[in-house]
Amino acid sequence: ATREETLGFQTEVKQLLNLMIHSLYSNREIFLRELISNAADACDKLRYQALDNDALYEGDSELRVEIEHDAEAGTVTLRDNGIGMNRDEVIENLGTIARSGTAEFLKQLSGEQQKDARLIGQFGVGFYSSFIVADEVTVRTRKAGTNKSEGVEWQSKGEGEFTVADIERDLHGTEITLHLKEDAKEFADDFRLQSLVRKYSDHIEVPVRMPKIETAKDEDGNEIEGSETTTWETVNEATALWVRPKSDLTDDEYKAFYKHVAHDFSDPLVWSHNKVEGKLEYVSLLYVPSRAPFDLYERDGARGVKLYVQRVFIMDDAEQFLPLYLRFIKGVLDTRELSLNVSRELLQQDPKVEKIKSALTKRALDMLKKLAKDPEGYQTFWNNFGSVLKEGPAEDYANREKIASLLRFSTTHTDSATQDQSLAQYVERMKEGQQKIYYIVADGFNATKNSPHLEIFRKKGIEVLLLHDRIDEWLMSHLTEFEGKSFVDVAKGDLDLGDVEDEEEKQAQEDTAKAKEGLVKRVKEALGDEVQEVKVTHRLTDSPACVVLPEHEMGFQMRRIMEAAGQ
């Protein structure tokens, strides 16, 4: 080896390694899933790049992953003939964490093992998970299409630094050797490895092979020395999961595939697998995760589906196929509608992309509708992603009614901060003669619940939606009606309770207003320019007065948002 140098891991990597080794102990086997997943990704990448440069295969286009072990030496080796890495890539990929928000993420870690294990799962540990089971890791790799002398060897004990050196390497692709820790030697075992491959990698299209060593025997049944032959057996199913018929697939297989696609440890809440033929041909497999990723609200957070064209992997995070308000959806899209050399730029111009997007949007909304039949599962979804879905009516006018039926709110019916009531439920409970859906928006649940604007509604037993999310006013400015009933902000304009009030009550109000004209005039003079108007109201039953915004005025929340944006 030449040009050997020792480098330090990025601070974040050191932190991650440390935490991972301690908090993922009970989940150690996932290292294999992560490494196979990387090997499969590397094969996908090579196949894609070789589409217009066959030479990259270097004469070996049968992509595969091989796993070997040596029980005596206590090692496990994974080898792929995928894209490989050059020296710079090795240093970048296996020395840093490139994902944005990493530092923020790591700050959230508490040091409490169980909690952190969950958080780390959310982050996706990837290659570094090798160090959960290994006290030394060696990576030998060469980028496909480069010179045999351009191989690279990376080595580390996972303790703050690693070395890189140039090596000769005949094969392109990557080989990773794990020197197992004393208490992880169990993994250097044929049966254990095979069952883990089946458990985690059945759905991966690339074959994962393990050697079967056979020795010839003489007439007496004794092994003949030196007669060993190795045959490679494919251990996994090795068919892309989404092309298999639905009836063939078990829930466990769908779940395992989700973990591969979404880099998530936990099970998805629900999925939707569709093969569409005819005018628009595609296969989609979409999932709703059971918890929010740490970068859900980050501008450059990962979003979108894994895109394949006729089974060839094209790109991760293809965000053009789903609207922003469904950015929590994970999954795969495989279509023949696009060409193999499609790029992100081309995706933006292709009218077929728009068509697929609206089809997938429909699938995703239907999937949520299905999930809503399971109140507990739906509540989990809502608690994690509800405020993202609330962006929907503004972004996707065409589907706003569908989205509206998926929204959940706090209301005076339950008087609880939990958002678990649907508009359909509200409409069911509407009073006789009530034509509108009433709501109030304020900062925080208690501010809505205790608002003086609700007094008349509580007295008459009319339900009011209690909106207290930051995005709620924005949402309501794009939701005009539901099932033909318009929304009314109880803090704005003249309050018209429609037929819920009888003629007598209305007359009584008018009479009071007349009788108090003098008082109103004096109050108005006293307040001067501070107010536009002073009126007698029947809104209140206990409080003497309240502030009301004109009907078409921007609300308090929006004003604050605009002010914060410097407008």
* CA–CA separation, 329 and 364 (whole Å): 8
Residue 80 binds ligand ADP, judged by CB under 6 A: yes
| 310 known member of a binding site | no
| 125 known member of a binding site | yes
Residue among 126 and 207 whose Cβ is closer to Mg ion: 126
Residue 102 binds Mg ion, judged by CB under 5 A: no
Residue 127 binds ligand ADP, judged by CB under 6 A: yes
Residue among 93 and 383 whose Cβ is closer to ligand ADP: 93
**Which three-class secondary structure string do you get for 208-276?**
EEEEEEECCECCCCCECCCCCEEEEEECCCCCCHHHCCHHHCCHHHHHHHHHHHHCCCCCCCEEEEEEE
CB count within 10 Å of CB 42 equals 24
| 93 known member of a binding site | yes
| 522 known member of a binding site | no
> Which among Mg ion, ligand ADP, none contacts residue 393 (Cβ within 5 to 8 A by kind)?
none
> Which among Mg ion, ligand ADP, none contacts residue 80 (Cβ within 5 to 8 A by kind)?
ligand ADP
Residue 86 binds ligand ADP, judged by CB under 6 A: no
Residue among 102 and 174 whose Cβ is closer to ligand ADP: 174
- Residues 488-507 touching ligand ADP, rule: CB under 6 A, are none
Among the residue ranges 82-90, 252-260, 294-302, 527-535, the one whose residues contact ligand ADP (CB under 6 A): 82-90
Reduce the DSSP state of residue 69 to 3 states and report it: strand
* CA–CA separation, 256 and 381 (whole Å): 20
Among the residue ranges 33-41, 342-350, 458-466, 543-551, the one whose residues contact ligand ADP (CB under 6 A): 33-41
One residue of 83, 117, 152, 261 binding ligand ADP per CB under 6 A: 83
How is the beta sheet containing 481-482 ordered, strand by strand?
Answer: 410-411, 464-467, 437-441, 485-489, 481-482
| 557 known member of a binding site | no
* CA–CA separation, 264 and 76 (whole Å): 24
- Identify the burial level of 29 via C-beta atoms within 10 angstroms of its C-beta, where 0-12 means exposed, 13-18 middle and 19 or more buried: buried
Query: Do residues 130 and 176 touch, judged by C-beta distance below 8 A?
Result: yes
* CA–CA separation, 74 and 432 (whole Å): 76
Query: Do residues 123 and 105 touch, judged by C-beta distance below 8 A?
Result: yes
One residue of 16, 30, 39, 241 binding ligand ADP per CB under 6 A: 39
Q: Which residues pair with 313 in a beta bridge?
A: 308
Residue 93 binds ligand ADP, judged by CB under 6 A: yes
Residue among 126 and 173 whose Cβ is closer to Mg ion: 126
Smallest distance, Mg ion to C-beta of residue 35, A? 8
| 101 known member of a binding site | yes
One residue of 24, 36, 42, 269 binding ligand ADP per CB under 6 A: 42
- Residues 25-44 touching Mg ion, rule: CB under 5 A, are 38
Q: What mask, x for binding ligand ADP by CB under 6 A, covers residues 245 to 274? A: ------------------x-----------
Residue among 42 and 235 whose Cβ is closer to ligand ADP: 42
Taken in order 335, 338, 344, 349, the sign of the CA dihedral is negative
Residue among 31 and 321 whose Cβ is closer to Mg ion: 31
Smallest distance, Mg ion to C-beta of residue 37, A? 5
| 381 known member of a binding site | no
Distance of CA 41 to the CA centre of its chain: 19
Q: What angle do CA 288, 291, 296 make, to 5 degrees?
A: 90
Smallest distance, Mg ion to C-beta of residue 50, A? 21
* CA–CA separation, 61 and 144 (whole Å): 11
> Which among ligand ADP, Mg ion, none contacts residue 42 (Cβ within 5 to 8 A by kind)?
ligand ADP
CA distances, 436 to each of 23, 348, 416, 480, 538 (Å)? 53, 41, 22, 11, 18
Residue among 305 and 368 whose Cβ is closer to ligand ADP: 305
One residue of 74, 82, 84, 126 binding Mg ion per CB under 5 A: 126
* CA–CA separation, 513 and 491 (whole Å): 19
Q: What mask, x for binding ligand ADP by CB under 6 A, covers residues 157 to 196? A: -----------------x----------------------
Q: Which residues pair with 209 in a beta bridge?
A: 66, 234
Smallest CA-to-CA distance from 198 within 27, 67, 47 is with 67
Residue number of the CB closest to ligand ADP reads 126
Query: Do residues 556 and 442 touch, judged by C-beta distance below 8 A?
Result: yes
Smallest distance, ligand ADP to C-beta of residue 148, A? 17
Looking at residue 1, the DSSP 8-state letter turns out to be -
Query: Residues 470, 472, 478, 481: what is their CA dihedral angle, to the nearest 10 degrees?
Result: 180
| 100 known member of a binding site | yes
Among the residue ranges 35-43, 282-290, 468-476, 528-536, the one whose residues contact ligand ADP (CB under 6 A): 35-43
Smallest distance, ligand ADP to C-beta of residue 383, A? 26
Q: Which residues bind Mg ion (CB under 5 A)?
A: 38, 126
- Residues annotated within a binding site: 34, 38, 80, 85, 93, 100-101, 122-127, 174, 344
Residues near ligand ADP, by CB under 6 A: 34, 38-39, 42, 80, 82-85, 93, 124, 126-127, 174, 263
Annotated binding site for ATP: 34, 38, 80, 85, 93, 100-101, 122-127, 174, 344
